[in-house]
Amino acid sequence: MGAAIGGAVSALATSYFGSVLDWLGDGANWHGTEGVPHRFLEHIQISLVSLVIAVVISVPIGLFFGHLRKGGFVVVNIANLGRAIPSFSILLLAVLLWGIGNPPRVLTSIGIVSFPAFVALVALAIPPVLTNTYIGVSGVDDDVRDAARGMGMNDRQVLQSVELPLATPLIMAGIRTSGVAVVATATLLAYVGGGGLGRFIIDGAAIDYQDPRIFVGALFVALLSVITELSLAAAQRLVVPRALQRAEIDVARTPVPAPAVPL
Amino acid sequence: MLAAYDGHALVDWSWVADHGDEIVARLREHAVLLGWSMLLALLFAIPLALASLGRRRVYGIVLATTGILYTIPSLAAFSLLLPYTGQSRLTAIIPLAAYSLLILVRNIVTGLERVPTDVQDAATGLGYSRRRKLWQIDVPLALPTIVAGVRIAVVTTIGLISVSALIGQGGLGALMTSGFEKDFYTPLVVGVVLTVAFAIAADALLLGAQKLCTPWARRSVAR
């Protein structure tokens, strides 16, 4: 009986992968605004815009409070709160309560059709960058700060030439975490009407669970996530001062910035 | 059917009263998915962590592999399993377990490695065998860190289960999607509130259990 079930499952899987290959082989699926390349582009644009906005908001705030070494309690708790509230429900709530909210043309042209959903995406990307920037700056050794002051540096110089470079491993780690999280959540954006690669999964699942687009979409999303992780890791190596590259190993083992929620 | 209820009140309590059975069933489903996926995750995480102890290279490979698993978005992971596991619970359980691996392995290894060397030496000096030292000295002392990892994994998993509603599982997530699709606030709000409450309760329960098991650790150890 076990063999019979196994046979049935593998027959099902074979015919399913046949339909997946057929779909991939159909040239029509590779052109136009609903084709694979355009969905890829949308996904990348949505993620990049959200991540950049999140970084622009959170890095200065983290630097400011980190330099003053104040507000750590609030910053860390924002991060923990972000972990307890599932992003999927934030997305659904935002859209249901505030509707589509007529996003400006700039946003609709890159596949963002719901302003509240976009705000939710940016909001989700903020905690890892903010926390890591704060911890990175406020964690700079007192002796190092004193030495910088002793050399006659003012606040701005200490922040710019001492604290910021020393904090880059953690800041970049935060951006990496957020980047991967944004790419993942952008997939869910399709459920609330947005574009991107999640479209394939959601449209396929709307027909039935044997629709080839589900697998195709999932495969591309997984691929894009891994590419994002690897390229942000490469960016991290480029940006982090060479003397601190080895410190990254210690950073990876510091317990404080727990990994963000996978989405 | 919906006409009887106020779709745009944040919570229409009459709907909640009428659907108590459904809400409880969804909550139970959420708990079942959580239980199985945590069990499966621990089943893999413990041997992986023990194999990584004191072996830097193995640990590196384990972290890299579980790290890549962690990168794959949950909706994609659920969808990739659909052709194999169809509409069974496994479609949700396998990816959920996979996500917990990174956190669990890392916290188990970190916890065990942080046991002070002099304590370990003392145990060895007292004639403890390696196995006995591991289970009677190292594991109890590492418990706060290990439980911290379990707590993160549990809270994360409770949130992620909701996403599997999009592929026909989902526990409380099914309430959220049905509310969203019908433009009816109440089920969505009930789903979200119960998910967050569930996460907080599970977290508090684990913390309490850990405090009971490690009465010597007055200050809770940070993750």
Tens place of pLDDT per residue across chain B (223 aa): 555 777 777 788 888 888 889 999 999 999 999 999 999 999 999 999 999 998 999 999 999 899 888 888 888 899 888 888 888 899 999 999 999 999 999 999 999 988 888 998 999 999 999 889 999 999 999 998 899 899 989 988 998 999 999 888 889 999 999 888 888 888 988 999 999 899 989 989 998 998 888 887 765 454 4
Among A210, A217, A66, A212, CA closest to A129: A66
Residue A70: alpha-carbon gap to chain centroid: 27
Question: Cβ separation of A88 and B168 shorter than 8 Å?
Answer: no
Q: How far is residue A217's CA from residue A43's CA, in Å, rounded to a whole number? A: 11
Could you say which residues from 204 to 223 on chain A have a Cβ atom under 8 Å away from some Cβ of chain B? 205, 209-210, 214-215, 217-219, 221-222
Question: Cβ separation of A262 and B162 shorter than 8 Å?
Answer: no
Query: What length does chain B have?
Result: 223
The amino acid at A89: S
Contact A134, A75 (CB under 8 A): yes
Contact A131, A171 (CB under 8 A): no
Question: Cβ separation of A96 and B87 shorter than 8 Å?
Answer: no
Facing residue for A205 by CB, picked from B73, B99, B167:
B167
Helices B20-52, B90-113: axis angle to 10 degrees equals 40
pLDDT of residue A101: 67
Q: How far is residue A109's CA from residue A106's CA, in Å, rounded to a whole number? A: 5
Among A116, A92, A93, A90, CA closest to A103: A116
Please, which residues have CB within 8 angstroms of residue A199's CB and are 6 or more apart in sequence?
A34, A39, A190, A217
Contact B41, B100 (CB under 8 A): yes
Say how many CB pairs under 8 Å bridge A and B.
Answer: 149
The amino acid at A132: N
pLDDT of residue A251: 41
Contact B163, A263 (CB under 8 A): yes
B158-217 residue pLDDT tens: 989 999 998 888 899 999 998 888 888 889 889 999 998 999 899 899 989 988 888 877
Question: What residues of chain B lie within 8 A of the CB of A9, using their CB?
Answer: 84
pLDDT, chain B, mean: 88
Question: What residues of chain A lie within 8 A of the CB of B59, using their CB?
Answer: none
Question: Cβ separation of B71 and A229 shorter than 8 Å?
Answer: yes
The DSSP line for chain A is: -HHHHHHHHHHHHHHHHHHHHHHHH-GGGGSSTTSHHHHHHHHHHHHHHHHHHHHHHHHHHHHHHHHHT--HHHHHHHHHHHHHS-HHHHHHHHHHHH------HHHHTTT---HHHHHHHHHHHHHHHHHHHHHHHHTS-HHHHHHHHHTT--HHHIIIIIIHHHHHHHHHHHHHHHHHHHHHHHHHHGGGT--STHHHHHHHHHH-TT-HHHHHHHHHHHHHHHHHHHHHHHHHHHHS-HHHHTHHHHHHH-SSSPPPPP-
Question: Cβ separation of A95 and B72 shorter than 8 Å?
Answer: no
Task: Say yes or no: A202 contacts chain B, CB-CB below 8 A.
Answer: yes
Q: Which long-range contacts (CB under 8 A, 24 or more apart) does A108-114 make?
A: A110/A42, A110/A45, A110/A46, A110/A49, A110/A195, A111/A42, A111/A43, A111/A45, A111/A46, A111/A194, A111/A195, A111/A196, A112/A46, A112/A49, A112/A189, A112/A194, A112/A195, A113/A193, A113/A194, A113/A195, A114/A189, A114/A192, A114/A193, A114/A194
Facing residue for A209 by CB, picked from B80, B163, B168:
B168
Q: For an interface test with A, give the residue of B79, B103, B175 to mutate (most A CBs within 10 A).
A: B79
Q: Which of A101-105, A108-112, B65-69, B88-92 has the highest mean pLDDT?
A: B88-92
Tokens of B122: 């003392």
Among A11, A12, A148, CA closest to A67: A148
Contact B176, B188 (CB under 8 A): yes
Q: Please tell me the pTM assigned to this model.
A: 0.82
Shortest Cα–Cα distance, A148 to chain B (Å): 31
A29-87 residue pLDDT tens: 888 888 889 999 999 999 999 999 999 999 999 999 999 988 888 877 777 666 667 78
Q: How far is residue A205's CA from residue A257's CA, in Å, rounded to a whole number? A: 36
Residue A220: alpha-carbon gap to chain centroid: 16
Shortest Cα–Cα distance, B127 to chain A (Å): 32
Question: Cβ separation of A262 and B160 shorter than 8 Å?
Answer: yes
ipTM score here?
0.78
Q: How far is residue B45's CA from residue B97's CA, in Å, rounded to a whole number? A: 10
Q: How far is residue B108's CA from residue B54's CA, in Å, rounded to a whole number? A: 13
Q: How far is residue A241's CA from residue B153's CA, in Å, rounded to a whole number? A: 33
CA distances to A249, B30, B45, B98, B137 from B52, in Å: 16, 32, 10, 17, 18
